[in-house]
Chains A and B, each alone.
Chain A
Amino acid sequence: MDGVTLALGGRPVLRGIDLAIPPGALVALVGGSGAGKTSLLRLVNRMVQPDTGTIRIDGVDVAGRDKESLRRGIGYAVQGGGLFPHWTVADNIAAVPWLMGWDKARRLARAAELMEMVDLPVHLADRFPGALSGGQASRVGLARALAVSPRLLLLDEPFGALDPETRTALADRLVALHRAQGLTTILVTHDLVDALLRADLMLVLDAGTIVACGPPAQVAANPHPAVQALVAGPLAQAELLHRMGARLT
């Protein structure tokens, strides 16, 4: 991203974002509410258009690309899965293949493969999302994002509102998939533990600007007040020290 600014409804959301993400990185995007995290994520697949600046993926300006084909090629998942309540689990997972015109047999095979990948029991394939638990719905959302083997994955609070055990399991699964498939992943999260433990790069947004960017340990040491307000929270502190002291050097 070069010099990206964005205003929504006359209110500046992002100001002068310059950012380069190396291929294969798992990037955690953190910051307070309204810092612009979701907007930054949505710029990448053109869900919102920047007012100024350019966004390039593999050196190609996204502004020149067709929105729909661009989005189909980028995995995207949100909190709760954002599933279509009137489609079965299998149809939800195979939504992008359906958009790309795959035949039914191929879609079903791919859905089964993805369900296994995210640890979903195969008998759920014909259920509707209303019958799923929160963790199951999040797994379906993740599977849908991975359906056509994208190289870039955008996740907006994918594990929000889940109980701690479920989210830990899912986060571990995500990291494993990220490594195994050689993905570049941008993860918007509120959970500093997630960010500090699992990310290659951590990016702190405050009031529409990047105030810190780098390996998690380095960012945690950043004296910027916005960074410290995030990472120095008592809960985060306690958990960090207790659980992961070894990795922080």
Chain B
Amino acid sequence: MSGLAALPSALAAHLAISAAALLLALVVAVPLALLMPARPWLRRGVMGFASVVQTVPALALLALFFPLLVLLRNVTGLAVPSLGLLPSLLALALYALLPLLRGLAGGLAAVPDGVRDAARAIGMSDWQRLFHVELSLAAPVVMGGVRTAAVWTIGAATLATMVGQKSLGDLIFAGLQLQDWQQVLLGCVAAAGVALLVDGALGWCQAGIAQRRWRPAAQGLILLALIAGGVTGWWWQARPASATPAVTIGTKTFSEQYILAELIADDLASIGQPASIRSGLGSGIAFQSVAAGGIDISIDYSGTLWTQALGRTDTPPRDVMLPILARDLKARYGVTVAARLGFENAYALAMRRTDAVRLGVKTISDLARVSGKLRLATDLEFQSRAEWTALQRSYGLGFASIRAFTPVLMMAALNDGSADIITAYSSDGTLVGNDLVLITDDAQALPAYDALLLVAPGRDALVARLARYEGRIPVEAMREANWQADRPQDKRSPAQAAKWLKAKTGL
């Protein structure tokens, strides 16, 4: 099954980050819960904060820690990592805070005043009363909170993938993109299975505490130890034998990135350099990661870097743009452009080959002559993007109708004849599968989106090795490889598509 090879390390990382987040949340929650009963202002503040945190979607919470940590790094000058472990740990711990606080506060509030009073009256010290009476009595309710928090954390930890932390989300997000449902299912089942097992183990502990019996509590502890030991052992046994530290290749969330990462990883492995793939990074996060050295190699596009990393709004021709881009990325971020792969993944317009031939449309200038009779189907964001404004300005395009679709439906609209033109990416595999032609941007209204290999600061050996990719991948080959991974029937894995691409290009 695809993704199975990645499972042990993803599972181990997933459990480790979940456990660490839960422990951190407990360390914070216990003193807060003990201080709260006597201080109503603290209780209101803390519980209010924890509740608000809970209403933020977990994904947004994780993503928010990235700018927060960057800000912290800039303000304090400390080398605070803004990606990977730290933001995941903090966000997940914050997320676990509410159920823990609820459990602790509820448990402590349920201790009868008479019992607390009796503990003082017979001469218990504050600490004795806290441990032997209050926390002991509150323990069953507290354990209920711990169970809820554990299940939530294990579930939410799949999202840590988006900020560059390895987790079971690696399988889920890569699988979603590749429409590899087996891999998605594998990730989901593994996460749900671990959550259920941990919940069951904690349930035994809770029952043991509530009934004051050792047996269930011991069972629960043994099961927890077995889960931790089993996962660690599996990971240990499955880990690569090499002692050379692995190079990490980061990918964004689409097939082309996965295929190219496999291609490069395979190539590095052939020279004795192990490589691991950190898949499913958010678009901006991939670049930030390579700049921060959290990953070693990323694949990005000149137009995106031009606007996002350098903040430029002009659209010079590619011959002017690329040298400036390479120079400024190096100067501002220390990131090296190691190779320009030779193809472009630009926003583009596409139409059925038969229509293009019939109407004599090869360029967007040609299209502008007949576009008033044609219907355009776009993806959801195209009409709010700068590219659309630029196209309208340069060519004076006007369509009979414009409708926005999700990408899958956009292609369906073209196929069933309810649209004539669609937006597309120039290296998109569906262009191959549906016999479409791209309409050339002859006036160069759009920036170039040349695919580039980026290398993190200080990895000069990698720069030298990756230089061999310069200009080696034509857009037709990339499109075909993408189609192999994206097509609904006879789908290939990214690794298989990468093998095909390697043979095709002779790399």
Give chain A's interface residues, CB within 8 Å of chain B.
45, 47, 67-73, 76, 78-86, 95-96, 99, 128, 144
Contact = CB atoms under 8 A, between A and B. Distances in A.
17 contacts: A45-B121, A67-B123, A71-B121, A71-B122, A72-B122, A76-B121, A78-B114, A80-B114, A81-B118, A82-B117, A82-B121, A83-B115, A86-B137, A86-B212, A95-B122, A96-B122, A99-B123
B123 A68 contact: yes
Most buried by A among B118, B119, B128: B118
Contacts of B121: 45, 47, 71, 76, 78, 82
Given A78-B114, A99-B128, A84 B119 contact: yes
Contact of B115 (A47, A70, A72, A85): A85
Interface string B117-153: 1111111110010001100110000000000000000
Nearest to B121: A76
A102 to B, nearest CB: 14
B118 A71 contact: no
A144 B122 CA distance: 9
Closest 5 interchain pairs by CB? A82-B118, A72-B123, A71-B123, A76-B121, A68-B123
Contacts of B136: 86
Interface of B: 112, 114-115, 117-125, 128, 132-133, 136-137, 212
Contacts of A82: 114-115, 117-118, 121
A76 B122 contact: yes
A128 B210 CA distance: 13
B114 to A, nearest CB: 5
Contact of B118 (A45, A69, A70, A78): A78
Most buried by A among B114, B122, B137: B122
Contacts of B128: 99
A218 B95 CA distance: 68
Contact of A84 (B115, B120, B123, B125): B115
Most buried by B among A45, A70, A84, A85: A84
Nearest to A76: B121
Contacts of A95: 122
A222 B123 CA distance: 38
B207 to A, nearest CB: 14
A47 B121 CA distance: 7
A95 B137 CA distance: 16
B57 to A, nearest CB: 40
Contacts of A83: 115, 118
B120 A71 contact: yes
Contacts of B132: 84
B137 A78 contact: no
B124 A99 contact: yes
A86 B119 CA distance: 13
A68 B124 contact: yes
A75 B413 CA distance: 86
Contact of A96 (B114, B123, B212): B123
Given A47-B117, A96-B122, 14 more contacts: A47-B121, A70-B123, A76-B121, A76-B122, A78-B118, A82-B117, A82-B121, A83-B118, A84-B133, A86-B136, A86-B212, A95-B122, A99-B122, A99-B123
A84 B119 CA distance: 8
A79 B121 CA distance: 13
Contacts of A71: 120-123
A83 B112 CA distance: 10
Contacts of A76: 118, 121-122
Contacts of B117: 47, 78, 82
Contacts of A68: 123-125
Contacts of A73: 123
B406 to A, nearest CB: 57
A72 B125 CA distance: 11
A176 B123 CA distance: 26
